[in-house]
Amino acid sequence: MTRETARAKAKELVSKMTVEEKASQLRFDAPAIPRLNVPAYNWWNEALHGVARADTATVFPQAIAMAAMFDEDKMQEIGEVIATEGRAKYNAYSAQGDRDIYKGLTFWSPNVNIFRDPRWGRGHETYGEDPYLTSRLGVRFVKGVQGDGEVMKAAACAKHFAVHSGPEALRHEFDAVASKKDMYETYLPAFEALVKEAKVESVMGAYNRTNGEPCCGSQALLVDILRGEWGFEGHVVSDCWAIRDFHENHKVTPGPQHSAAMALEAGCDCNCGCTYRSIMDGIRSGLIDEAYVTASCERLFTTRCLLGLFDGSEYDDIPYEAVECKEHVDLALNVARKSAVLLKNNGILPLKREELGTIGVVGPNANSRIPLYGNYYGTSSRYITVLEGIQDEVGENVRVLYSEGCHLYKDRVEGLGMADDRISEAVTVAEHSDLTIVVLGLDENLEGEEMDQSNGVGSGDKENLLLPAPQRRLLQAIIDTGKPFVVILMAGSAIDLSVAQEHADAILQAWYPGARGGKAIADLLFGNCSPSGKLPVTFYYNTDHMPPFTDYSMKGRTYRYMDEEALYPFGYGLTYGKTAVTAASLKAAPTAESDIILNVTVQNTGTRDTEEVIQVYIKDLDSPLAVKNYSLCGFRRVALAAGEAKTTELTIANKAMTVVDEEGKRSVQGKHFVLYAGISQPDSRSVALCGTRPAEVRFAL
C-alpha cells in the first residue's frame, strides 16, 4: 500500500469522526470507536533489542553491543526477527481482544541519540558515539523492522529527537544548548538518515529543551527541520509525559491546555502521557484549532492503514510459534558472540581445557541474570549466566569453583555481615584454581533511565568511570593472589579498566549480552569462535579532561574531537587471528561530486579463523571547519580463514568529504584528503594495541 493510498483511507475515516473522537485518538491509549469499526489501539511498544515487556520474546544483546558488531546486514536481520515476533504476538493477542500496552505494532525504537558523554546512563540504548556508524546501523534496523512488503510489517521510531544524552536527573527541565555546527555535524545526521533513507514511520521528541524550545513542541526541530528540510511524512510521538513538562518543569506554558496547543501546532501527533486529555477544553476555550487535531489524527490513522490494521495483511498468518523459535535464539547467540570486544590478551585466550584442572569464577555479575537483560527487554524462556555457560562448556572434565565475591555496589552481601564479607571466599576460590574468571561491571540498576534507585548519584547516570568500590577491592584481592585471571566486563558504557589492563591476563568486554549471553562468553573463552567486536565508544582513562556533563558542545568529546589519549579507542578490538590491512587503493580519481570507491585487502596471517572489521576514516587536510581528528566513513565485516587474504570494495559516500560551517551548512571545501583503511583508527594508541598501522591513501580533488 502506498502512503498516498493509506493517507486517502485515513482522511476518509477521520472525516467521519466527531471532534471528541478525533481528540481521543491522539492519546497513546487510543480507545475504540465502535460505530466506525475502529478497535482500540495502544501505540506504546518497545523493541530496543527484541520485543519488550509483553511476555516471551527473543532477547538480543543490548543496542550498544549490537553496534559493536559493525555489521549492517546483521542489524537488518535483527530488525526482521523483531518485527516477525511482534506480528506473531499481535496476531495472537488481538485475536483474544487484547489490545493492551506493549502489544501493538508501533515500536519506539531505535534510539539514535549520540553517546557523547560516558557518564550518561542511557548510552547503552544507543549505537555509540559516532554519527556515521549510528546512521548506517539505524537505517538497516529500521528497514528490517518495517520490511518491504505490501504493507508495513511494523513501524519503527527514531528517538529521542533531538540533542538528548543526559543528564537524566535534569532531563525534565534541562535546556541542551548546541551550536548549529554541532547539530548538523553530530546530533542530527542519524535522524536525517533514518527519515530520508529508511523512511522511518515515527519520530519521538525528547524530554529536554533544545536551544530554548521543548523538543516535543519545537518549531525548529519538528516543523522547520523534520517536516520542512527533511520532508518527514510519518507521525511524531512525545516522550512519555514530556508535554506535561512544558508547564510543570520547563515553565514555558501556564497549563495543560497551552502545552497541548504548543505540541499540536508543532506537529506532535501522539501524546504518550495525559496532557492531550485537555484538548477538548482547549478547543472550547479557543486555545486549540481543531485543524491541528484533524491533521494529527489523519497522520496517526495513515500509519494504522500502512500497517494493514483495517484491511488485513500478508503478516496476519504469522503464528505464535515464531516467538523465540530456535532460529531466532541462534541468531541472538551469534550476535552475542560477534559483539563481545577482546580488549587485552597476553596469549592466555583461548583457554585450553587440557591445561586446566580447576577454574574459578568470581564476581557479582558471574551468576546474575540481570546483566544479561540490558534494559527495555523482553522475557526469555531460558537464561544462561557466565557461570552456567562455563560449567556447560567444560562439563565434568574441569572443576568449576564459584564465589559471588562482593555485591554489585554495596559494601556487603549479607545485611548482618561485615564489610567485604565475600572477598575472602573469592580469594579462596582463586587460590584453589588454575585460572580465575573475574566477572565485573554494572547492570540496569546502576546505569539506565531516570529513577534507577540503587544509583545514588544522578538517577541512572554515572558519577565517574570507576567500577563500584566493592568491585575494585575484589579485583585488587584477586591481583594480590598472584594467580592468572581473566576479566569479563558486563557493562553498557566506558569503564576505567586501567588496573585490569595492567594486571589481568586478558579482558573481554561482553556488554549486556542477552538471554544466552553466558554461552556466548564461554564459546569465546574456549575458542569455539574468535572475538571480533569493535568498540562503538571511546574508553577514556577518566573524565578529568572532559567538559561538564551539561555542556553539549562536542569539543573534547568522542574520538573525533578528543585531545587526550584513550585507554581503549573507538573502533578497537582484538581477535584470535593475526589480521591487518595490507593494501588500499582508489578505483578511480574522486571528484567533489562523486562517491569514493576504495579497494582494500585484509589478511589473516594467524593460525585461527576469525572475522575482522575493516574500518575507513577520512581526514580533510585543508578546511578549518573539518572535525579535529578524522571521521569514520566506511566499514565492512569480513570472515577470514587462517592464512587467508581478501580484497573487498568499499563505497565511501561523497558526504564524507563535506564539512559543516557555523550556520549548519554542509559542503565540500577541502582539496586534499587522506583515507586510513585498517582494523582500527590510525591513532598511536590503536596502532600500539593492535600492532598494525592502517594503510593510507591520499588524494586531491
Task: Report, as residue numbers or ranges, the catalytic residues.
Answer: 239, 447
Amino acid at 591: T
Torsion on CA atoms 177, 183, 189, 195, rounded to nearest 10: 70
**All 3 cell numbers of residue 532?**
571480533
Q: Which residues pair with 650 in a beta bridge?
A: 598
Q: How many CA atoms lie within 13 A of 589 on its CB side?
A: 4
Please return the burial class of 53, using the count of CB atoms within 10 Å of its CB with bins 0-12, 13-18 and 19+.
middle
Q: Who's near 277: CB < 8 A, 6+ residues apart?
A: 27, 256
Instruction: Name the residue among 16, 153, 162, 163 with its Cα closest to residue 90.
Output: 153
Residue 547 is classified by DSSP as P
Buried/exposed 283-316: b ≥16 CB within 10 Å, e otherwise: beeebbeeebbbbbbbbbbbbbbbbbbbeebebe
**Closest C-alpha to 106, from 180, 158, 58:** 158
Degrees, nearest 5: CA angle 180-181-182: 95
Backbone angles phi, psi at 122, to 5 degrees: -95, 5
**Assigned C-alpha cell, 394:** 567444560
Helical packing angle, 517-525 and 326-339, nearest 10°? 50
Q: Which residue has the cell 562468553?
A: 521
Within 10 A of 573 (CB to CB), how many other CB atoms are there?
A: 25
Nearest-angstrom CA–CA distance, 104 and 88: 11
Contact indicator for 450, 242 with CB cutoff of 8 Å:
no
